[in-house]
Amino acid sequence: MRILLIEDDKAIGSAVREHAAADGHAVDWARTLSAARDYAAVASYGLVLLDLHLPDGNGIDYLRETRKRLDMAPVIILTARDQISDRIEGLNAGADDYLVKPFDLGELSARIHAVARRYGLRPEPTFSLGTLIIVPAERRIDRNGQAVDLTAREWAVLDCLMQRPGAIVSKTQIEDALYSFGSEVASNAVEVYVSRLRRKIGADRIATVRGVGYRLADT
Amino acid sequence: MRILLIEDDKAIGSAVREHAAADGHAVDWARTLSAARDYAAVASYGLVLLDLHLPDGNGIDYLRETRKRLDMAPVIILTARDQISDRIEGLNAGADDYLVKPFDLGELSARIHAVARRYGLRPEPTFSLGTLIIVPAERRIDRNGQAVDLTAREWAVLDCLMQRPGAIVSKTQIEDALYSFGSEVASNAVEVYVSRLRRKIGADRIATVRGVGYRLADT
DNA sequence: CCGTAGCTGACAGCAACCTGAAAGCCTCCG
DNA sequence: CGGAGGCTTTCAGGTTGCTGTCAGCTACGG
C-alpha cells in the first residue's frame, strides 16, 4: 500500500517510514502541509498518517480539504497523549483513527492493516483459495498445511491483489503500491514478483489478463 | 442505528447505553457472550461494542465467529488502557476500532459516527442482463455462475455498448472507441470482435441492426 | 432469386509476458 | 571491517496468445 506520512518530527518520521517500509508499504514523507498537498496532487494514497501540529498550519485543515475529494484516503491521526480535544475534533472532521504518541510500532502495523482491510471491504479476514489459506492480518500463508514465507515485496504485490479479489489490478497500480514517489523503476519488476509469487502460492492463483493486469483467483 | 453492546460491567454498560440512546441509537445490552449470541440470532445490528473480558469467555472468540458471517456488523472493542496486546489481537481478528476504558463519552459518539459514515458509502454499479452479470468496476463478468474472460479489445467493445444499453451504437462509433485517431483500420475488425463477444457472453445479448449498428439487449 | 451486409474460422505477426541468471544492495554476524 | 546470505532490480531470450486480416460463408431485404 502507498502511504502519505505528514510529520515534521524527524525521529518519529523516520521510524514510521522505516517500519512501514519493512511491512512492504511505499511511504512518501511530507514534513509540511504544503509538501503534503504537492504529494497528494500527483499521487494517490491508500492511507494518510497525519500529525496535527505542523510548521505551516494545522493538520485539521488538511483533513477538511482532503475530505472534500472523492478519492480521499483514510486518515490516521498522530497525536500527543494530552490532546484529547484535538483527537475528538479530528475524528469528527473525518479522521478514521488515531495513534497516541509515543506509540508502539507494532500497534502502528496493526492499525495500518486494519485500515487496509477495512477499505478493501473484505468481509472475511482470511482468504481460502482452495488449499491455500491467507491471513492478511497476521501476514501468514498456509499452503497444504505448509507455511509459506513471502518477502516484503512479494507480500505487497499479493496484498494489492487481495484488495479486490476477482477484480483486475493493473500493473501500474501494483507498481504504484510497491514504490515510493521518485524512485523510478524502469523494468519489469512487477512481472518478476508475480512470477515468484506464483511459484510460492501456485501458478493458477494469479491469472494474467493480457494488456490489462493481473487478477487473484476468487475460488 | 441499532447497536449491540456486549459488556459485563454495570457502570460502563449503563453509561454507554444511556449516552448512545441520547444520540438516537437503539441499544441492546448483553452481559455475557451467550446472551450476545441470542441477541444476534434474532436481530441485525449496525454496530457491535465489544468488551473483551466477559464472564463466559473471551470477546476475541465472538469476533472470530461474527467475522465469518456475511452480514457482520462493524465492531468496536472496549479495552482497558494496559492491555495493548489484546487490542492488537482484536484489530487483527477483524475489529474495526477500539476505545480505551475509561473513555470519553464524546469520543464514543465520534467513533460511532465515524464507523457509520465508513460503512455507509460503498456503491457498486453492476449490469445484470438476465443470467449475465457484469461488474465494470472490477472488469468482471459472470455467466450462469461461470467467470468469463474477455480480452482488452472485446471488453472495449462491450464497454462501448454498455455506455447506452438498449440504444443503437454504430460500427463507426465502436471503431473510434477501439482505435486511436489516425490508425487506419481497413477491415471488419468490429464485426470480428462482436462475433467473439457473442460466443463468450451469449449470441442473443448483442443484436444486429442491419445497416445501422449494434445494440445491447437491455433485459 | 440476387445483391449486399454481416458472420466466422484460420493464420501470420507481434507485443506482452515469463523466467532464469547475474549484478547491486542491505543487514546481520563473526 | 569484511564476508555471507538474502532481497531487489535489471536484463535478455524464449514463449504465449491477442490482434487484425482475409476469404468463404450465411442471412436478410427487396
Average pLDDT, chain A: 79
Per residue in A83-93, pLDDT (tens digit) is 677 777 777 77
Residue-level pLDDT at A124: 39
Q: Report, as an integer, the average pLDDT of A147-170.
A: 84
Tell me which residues of chain A have a C-beta less than 8 Å from any C-beta of chain B.
Answer: 84, 87-88, 91-92, 94-97, 104, 106-107, 110-111, 113-114, 117-118, 121, 123-125, 137-138, 164, 166-168, 207, 209-212, 218
Contacts of B111 in chain A (CB under 8 A): 91
A160 versus A85: the higher-pLDDT residue is: A160
- pLDDT averaged over consecutive 10-residue blocks of chain B (219 residues)? 85 81 77 84 77 86 69 76 64 72 71 67 59 81 85 91 85 83 73 94 90 84
Residue-level pLDDT at B12: 83
CATH 1.10.10.10 location in chain A? 127-216
CATH 3.40.50.2300 location in chain A? 2-120
Residue-level pLDDT at A184: 62
User: For a pLDDT cut of 70, what percent of chain A falls above it?
Assistant: 81
Interface A-B, measured as beta-carbon pairs within 8 A, has a size of: 77
Q: Is the pLDDT of residue A121 over 90?
A: no
Cβ B211 to strand C below 7 Å? yes
Residue-level pLDDT at B17: 82
**What chain A residue is nearest to B70 in terms of C-alpha separation?**
A123
d(CA A8, CA A105): 18
Residue-level pLDDT at B121: 38
Cβ A211 to strand C below 7 Å? yes
What class, spelled out in words, does domain B2-120 have in CATH?
Answer: alpha beta
| Contact between chains at A88 and B104 (C-beta distance less than 8 A) | yes
Q: Which fold has domain A127-216?
A: Arc Repressor Mutant, subunit A (1.10.10)
User: For a pLDDT cut of 90, what percent of chain A falls above it?
Assistant: 9
DSSP letter for each residue of chain B? -EEEEE---HHHHHHHHHHHHHTT-EEEEESSHHHHHHHHHH---SEEEEESEETTEEHHHHHHHHHTSTTPPPEEEEEETT-HHHHHHHHHTT--EEEEES--HHHHHHHHHHHHHHHH------EEETTEEEEGGGTEEEETTEEE---HHHHHHHHHHHHSTTSEEEHHHHHHHHS-TT----S-HHHHHHHHHHHHH-GGGEEEETTTEEEE---
Per residue in B11-67, pLDDT (tens digit) is 888 888 877 776 667 788 888 888 888 777 666 677 889 998 888 888 888 887 776
| Contact between chains at A123 and B72 (C-beta distance less than 8 A) | yes
| Contact between chains at B140 and A168 (C-beta distance less than 8 A) | yes
Cβ B12 to strand D below 7 Å? no
A166: left (phi over 0), alpha (psi -120 to 50) or beta: left
Residue-level pLDDT at A122: 38
pTM above 0.95, yes or no: no
- The predicted complex's ipTM stands at 0.54
Distance B208 CA to C6 C1' (A): 9
d(CA B151, CA B139): 11
Cβ B44 to strand D below 7 Å? no
Nearest residue, CB atoms, B138 vs list A96, A107, A168: A168
pLDDT band at A195 (very low <50, low <70, confident <90, very high): very high
Protein chain A, residues 114-173, with a C-beta closer than 7 Å to any atom of nucleic acid strand D? 149, 151-154
Residue-level pLDDT at A83: 67
pLDDT band at A197 (very low <50, low <70, confident <90, very high): very high
Per-residue cell: B150: 474477455
Residue to substitute from A107, A122, A134, A216, interface B, most B β-carbons within 10 A: A107
